Amino acid sequence: MRTIGELRAALTMGYGFPGDADDFEAELARRINHADPAAFPVSSASWRSTAAG
């Protein structure tokens, strides 16, 4: 998730080509909507350790 935030920040600051930010957000939404939740099992303990840092 840190990488997604870094990409968003860079695109918001104007890095990339015109339209890249919109394309990135659209592609991310498509991938999330079509992802198989069973392929990414996350326990609450692993999520907390990842979110913390």
As a whole number, mean pLDDT of residues 12-33 equals 93
Residue 47: per-residue pLDDT? 53
Residue 37: per-residue pLDDT? 81
- Of the candidates 28, 26, 19, 21, the one whose C-alpha atom is nearest the C-alpha of residue 1 is 28
Residue 7: per-residue pLDDT? 92
pTM of the entire predicted model: 0.60
Let me know: does 23 contact 11? Beta carbons within 8 Å.
no
As a whole number, mean pLDDT of residues 26-44 equals 83
